Amino acid sequence: MSSETTKSRPYGSKSGDLRLSEANLDKLPDQMRRPAYDRSRVTPGIVHLGIGAFHRAHQAVVIDDLIAGGATEWGIIGASLRSPDTRDALATQDGLYTLAVRSGEGTDHRIIGSVLALEVAREKPGHLIARLANPATRIVSLTVTEKGYCHTPQTGELDEAHPDIVHDLQNPGTARSAIGLLVAALSRRRIAGEPPFTVLSCDNLSANGHTVGRIVTQFAALRSRNLANWIEAEVAFPSTMVDRIVPETTDADRAAVSSALGMIDAWPVVTEPFTQWIVEDRFPAGRPDFAAAGVQLVSDVTPFEHMKLRLLNASHSALAYLGYLAGHETIASTMTDPHFAALARQVMLDAAPTLAMPEGTDLASYGASLLRRFSNPALHHRTWQIAMDGSQKLPQRLLATMQDRLRLGLPIETHALAVAGWMRYVTGTDEHGRTIDVRDPLAAKLKAIAESAGPVAERLAPALLEVDGIFGTLGADPRMRSAVTAALTKLFAVGARQAVQTFQPTSSAG
Ligand code: CS2
């Protein structure tokens, strides 16, 4: 979700170009919305780790609204873990950037002012740890993507062999991972006798709050049992469900936004009109009045999180792998093929019986709205972008549903086709023999498996299903093996387009 993988190219660096900044706000077109508050009076209360496009189009917008309503003690310090690109682009803009909301009706531009300063952990980890340890920081939120949690996706446990974890255990003062940074700062708070901050994960992990809580505590226990006990007793890790589709910003977006502004914005964010944030209300260190900005506060976010992961993200991933293989560059383009739209819908229908939603939840209209959002022609959301990091995404998006459906005695062909799409994709060669740029922490391992199995479904499917960190015990289930092997056989035989076009869900799909 964070755009740490996005490479910003020098943009608008010609001298003489007017640049978005505090001083130039009054030179923007009159009607353009901008911070309706005095930014110099805003103080930081939140440090956000992973200041990519998603955070800037989602949480930072909510905070911008709240500050405008008077919550001036909740400004954001944004940190990237590794890449200096966002900091470099926004520092000269005083942290200001444009939110461009696109739909079929056009684009709405708004300047966001809630990000007060930016940091890069890798450059000055000590500085960032000191910020986190400062009692003024009451919430530390995260969008570091699934792989940023240094865990085993299938189990949700800390991956103790992860190179960043090994590094951070040996060098707590120069931690690299989000987990190492959080624990270094929490340890300082404890030693100083200060109350901790609340940790707010905003990534698409199952039970994201519980998961990050577990990983942080496991990491802390490797440093000191007392520290781990203190974290367990004192630190709140509310779970959240976050939703907004935010494609990577392209140079064309930069140019279009800058032309609307009449000045350069080196890194605007582009998104859809829809936005949703559901948060568990556990903030012992205080929180802004989220509800005033439309955030839903609940006591248990699990059902909403499952609904989103299993309907939105699951069908997104299915469209991404199969759409990419069928030659579609974007989700909107994939959705123009009615068979792909039908498949996305079927992924959602099949997930429905595995959900336990609160009374009154209308899953059918939720699903229909997702299909409309995916079809938004104004968003250039690349299938390749969503296909990234499949090893970290599959368990909570697709596999959990398959597990539940098998338990309920229901067929799993629809999801098996999506998983087979991922398998075909990670071979690294497309249907025309061209290389696929597979981005995944396990890419090398997956490629080696694909090379030794060859393009033979009966060998490749079982070999990939044995990757324990992804599939766990589900990989050994004969029903799983046969459904995925059958789908992969078809993909190799007729290609993704035809496999989707001829796909018939079993009638008792639930
Ligand atoms: C997408 C998500 O990149 C992906 O894997 O499925 O980022 C998706 O766009 C968001 O979760 C929507 O809220």
**Measured distance CA(130)–CA(189) in Å, rounded:** 10
Q: Is residue 14 part of a domain?
A: no
| Residue 4 binned pLDDT confidence (cut-offs 50, 70, 90) | very low
Boundary of a domain, candidates 267, 298, 329: 298
Query: Ligand 1: distance of its center to the CA of 22 in Å?
Result: 32
Q: Is 136 in the same domain as 74? A: yes
With b meaning 16 or more CB within 10 Å and e meaning fewer, what string describes 494-503?
ebbbebbbeb
Q: Is the pLDDT of residue 510 over 90?
A: no
pLDDT tens for 367-383 read: 999 999 999 999 999 99
134 neighbors 123 (Cβ within 8 angstroms): no
Q: Which of 312, 398, 422 to mutate to test the pocket of ligand 1 (most atoms within 8 A of CB)?
A: 312
Same-domain check for residues 405 and 474 = yes
1 CA → ligand 1 middle, Å: 7
- The amino acid sitting at 23 is A
Residue 204 beta carbon below 6 angstroms from any ligand 1 atom: yes
Distance CA 161, CA 208 (A): 21
pTM for this prediction: 0.95
Cβ(244) to ligand 1 under 6 A? yes
Residue 240 phi, psi (nearest 5): -140, 155
Q: Is the pLDDT of residue 8 over 80?
A: no
Number of domains in the chain: 2
Q: What atom in ligand 1 is closest to the CA of residue 389? A: 5
Residue nearest to atom 8 of ligand 1 (CA): 245
Distance (Å) from CA 46 to ligand 1 centroid: 23
Closest C-alpha residue for ligand 1 atom 10: 245
The percentage of the chain sitting over the pLDDT mark of 70, rounded to a whole number, equals: 96
For 197-226, the pLDDT digits (tens) are 999 999 999 999 999 999 999 999 999 999
Closest residue to atom 13 of ligand 1, CA basis: 243
| 287 and 312 housed in the same domain | no
Please compute the mean of the pLDDT values over residues 343-361 and round it to a whole number.
97
Q: Is 55 in the pocket of ligand 1 (CB under 6 A)?
A: no
**Ligand 1 centre distance from Cα of residue 391 (Å):** 15
Q: Which of 3, 144, 208, 245 to mutate to test the pocket of ligand 1 (most atoms within 8 A of CB)?
A: 245
Whether 348 is covered by a domain: the verdict is yes
326 and 274 fall within a common domain: no
Token pair, residue 29, equals: 């077109």
- CB 275 less than 6 A from any atom of ligand 1: no
CB of 243 closer than 6 A to ligand 1?
yes
Atom of ligand 1 nearest to the CA of 246: 9
Residue owning the nearest CA to atom 3 of ligand 1: 386
- Domain boundary (298, 321, 355) is at 298
Residue at a domain's end among 298, 321, 347: 298
Residue 510 domain-assigned (yes or no)? no
Tell how far CA 407 is from the center of its chain: 28
Ligand 1 site-directed mutation target among 206, 386, 398, 425, most atoms within 8 Å of CB:
386
Residue at 10 is within a domain:
no
- Is residue 426 domain-resident? yes
- Structure token pair of residue 36: 């309706």
In short, whether 57's Cβ falls inside 6 Å of ligand 1 is no
Q: Is 316 in the pocket of ligand 1 (CB under 6 A)?
A: yes
Quick one: 272 and 313 in the same domain?
no
Higher pLDDT, residue 33 or 3:
33
Residues 307 and 285 in one domain: no
Residue closest by Cα to atom 5 of ligand 1: 386
Determine if ligand 1 sits within 6 Å of the CB of residue 354.
no
What does the block give as tokens for 370?
């997702």
Kindly report, residue by residue over 388-435, the tens digit of the pLDDT.
999 999 999 999 999 999 999 999 999 999 999 999 999 999 999 999
What CATH number does residue 51 fall under?
3.40.50.720
Residue 6 reports pLDDT greater than 50: no
Residue 506 pLDDT = 82
Sequence-distant (6+) residues with CB within 8 A of 14 are none
Q: How confident is the model at residue 3 (pLDDT cuts 50, 70, 90)?
A: very low
Run of H or E residues at 79: strand 75-80
List 140's β-bridge partners, or say none: 47, 199
**pLDDT over threshold 60, residue 9:** no
The half-sphere exposure of 192 on its side-chain side, counting CA atoms within 13 A, is: 14
Same domain for 88 and 223, yes or no, is: yes
**Ligand 1 contact via 151 beta carbon (within 6 Å):** no
Residue 268 shares a structural domain with residue 306: no
Contact yes or no for 101/108 (Cβ under 8 A): yes
Compute, in angstroms, the gap from residue 5 CA to the centroid of ligand 1.
15
Q: By residue range, what is the domain housing residue 64? A: 22-298
Distance 313 CA to ligand 1 centre (A): 6
Q: Report the nearest atom of ligand 1 relative to the CA of 276.
A: 13
Of 306, 463, 447, the closest CA to residue 390 belongs to 447
* Ligand 1 centroid distance, CA of 403 (Å): 22
Residues 6+ apart with CB under 8 A from 76: 44, 46, 47, 48, 59, 60, 63, 114, 115, 116
Residue 245 CA to ligand 1 centre (angstroms): 6
Residue 297, token pair as written in the block: 């506060």
What's the pLDDT score for residue 50? 98
Q: Ligand 1 within 6 A of 101 CB?
A: no
Judgement on whether residues 268 and 318 belong to the same structural domain of the protein: no
Same-domain status, 282 and 326: no
**6 is a domain residue:** no
Tell me which DSSP letter residue 310 carries: I
In a domain, 11, yes or no: no
Tokens, residue 430:
């497309």
Beta bridge partners of 106: 103
Q: Indicate if 114 and 258 belong to the same structural domain.
A: yes
9 domain-assigned = no
User: Cα 125 vs. chain centroid, distance in angstroms?
Assistant: 23
Q: Is the CB of 386 under 6 A from ligand 1?
A: yes
Pairing type for strands 97-103 and 106-112 reads: antiparallel
Distance CA 357, CA 457 (A): 37
Taking CA atoms only, the protein residue closest to ligand 1 atom 7 is: 1
pLDDT tens, 266-321? 999 999 999 999 999 999 999 999 999 999 999 999 999 999 999 999 999 999 99
CATH number of 444's domain:
1.10.1040.10
Same domain, 253 and 324: no
Whole-angstrom Cα distance, residue 84 to residue 127?
15
Three-class secondary structure of residue 162 per DSSP = coil
Q: Which of 398, 288, 303 is nearest to 66 (CA)?
A: 288
Averaged over 149-163, what is the pLDDT? 96
